[in-house]
Structure 1
């Protein structure tokens, strides 16, 4: 994993939006479609909002999520609902191109993981997986010390007893993340600085899941100045 430091939080979001817009354009020229797994969280939603006025052919873009809070469809807690409010309801993306992970009112948690894995298999290779990172160095809903970090084979797993509410979640595994062509971690804030340094230290994935992803073509952590502070010491 390499890292880039892009200035303050606003500059980070703006630069990430520029890069994502350019990548989508290149993918549409090269292969006719782009498949992106987006992330939740404040920075992830700011990035999505920054795309709302970009010149993007949304009719050929497919969106899914690298993790989801397992609550009812339409809940304000769902990453998908927040993404709709930030971007998807504002642009002409076909509903058939929006691939939400299952909700708690349509399946059990274990059924949701099986259904989401099947959905990803049908969707095909993901061109880019976007990830945030927590102060504990978690990514998606893969938390330090929990068994999901070591899960192999399945693309999406059920996560129980998440340290962050709500406790039940669906998450990409590291295998699913690593199957993406590109992985970008978008990280902002001084509360993430220790975790950023830990992720770059070679620590085991059980300790720092954020240091584990390896996209097929590219893996990069895009940082604001605050998140990079300890890394630069």
Structure 2
């Protein structure tokens, strides 16, 4: 499905970070419940960053969390820092810390990226994650090499990056691998594992989290007419069924108001 045939992003403002985290958690719960009603399981693609972690915390503590059978939820990460497995800077560790034991996940369904103390190189970690994805896809009967992602959460960086796909780099356009290594990230640490934009965009729903005045320029950049994925990777994040930009109002100055902003 080309970007032109996908639904256009819809901007949904919130009055602050707390409201954004709560609303996103509520939306995630609705999607997971619906997916389980449809096919018995659900799959969530998580992101890092402070807002991504806050959403996970809200999921764990939300009053409606029990509507989801968490033992049948599959969890993946769109990117990860290549650090030791228990390093607190890793996205998976931050999520686990706020998830704790509140939600009864089946740990065989939770898929962290291998850490630097578990596998020799970042390239090997990327290959290992590709193989995990392919195995899950085969089990589902998918021929794409990817399992079905019901919803992918992404955080927009102040430079417009998403996952570990940074502006000004041609690897934003890579289609030869669903997961690959980044060895020279402009943000520390330099070694990371990331899903390709194509892999992220295979999700039914892609929701971009944008919180804080520091993200206002990035949000304006991804909304510029004719902006390219290389110029602003976040501009090209698109779900097959839905794309939401879930933003705080302090990130909105200078951004044209979306005509559908009051619908969501």
What TM-score bracket applies, with the shorter chain setting the length? over 0.9
Task: Give unpaired runs (5+ residues) of structure 2.
Answer: 1-8, 137-146, 258-264
Residues 1:206 and 2:218 aligned together: no
Aligned equivalents of 2:159 and 2:234: distance in 1? 9
SS at match of 2:60: coil
SS at match of 2:118: coil
Please say which structure displays the higher CA radius of gyration. 2
**Which of the numbers 198, 201, 204 marks the counterpart of 1:181?**
204
Aligned equivalents of 2:48 and 2:237: distance in 1? 18
Aligned equivalents of 2:162 and 2:200: distance in 1? 10
Deviation for aligned residue 1:106: 2.3
Is the deviation greater in 29-38 or in 222-231?
222-231
Aligned equivalents of 1:174 and 1:65: distance in 2? 13
* Structural mapping, 1:10-49, within 5 Å: 10-49=18-57
**Which of the numbers 87, 96, 102 marks the counterpart of 2:114?**
102
Match of 2:167 in 1: 144
Counterpart contact for 1:157–1:172, Cα < 8 Å: yes
Match of 1:87 in 2: 99
**Which of the numbers 171, 174, 177 marks the counterpart of 1:154?**
177
Deviation for aligned residue 1:94: 1.3
Counterpart contact for 1:153–1:175, Cα < 8 Å: no
Aligned equivalents of 1:230 and 1:10: distance in 2? 23
**Which of the numbers 7, 10, 13 marks the counterpart of 1:2?**
10
Aligned equivalents of 2:44 and 2:230: distance in 1? 26
Match of 1:51 in 2: 59
Deviation for aligned residue 1:148: 2.1
Residues 1:169 and 2:192 aligned together: yes
Task: Give unpaired runs (5+ residues) of structure 1.
Answer: none
Match of 2:5 in 1: none
Q: CA RMSD in A?
A: 1.3
Match of 1:112 in 2: 125
Counterpart contact for 2:32–2:150, Cα < 8 Å: no
Match of 1:225 in 2: 249
Cα distance change on mapping 1:88 and 1:31 into 2, 3 Å: farther
SS at match of 2:52: helix
Match of 1:67 in 2: 79
SS at match of 1:219: strand
Deviation for aligned residue 1:73: 0.7
Deviation for aligned residue 1:19: 0.6
C-alpha deviations, 1:151-195, integer Å up to 9, x for none? 112111101111111110001111101111111111100000010
Aligned equivalents of 1:86 and 1:6: distance in 2? 23
The number of residues matched between the two structures is 233
C-alpha deviations, 1:64-97, integer Å up to 9, x for none? 1010000111111110000000115432101111
Is the deviation greater in 71-80 or in 85-94?
85-94
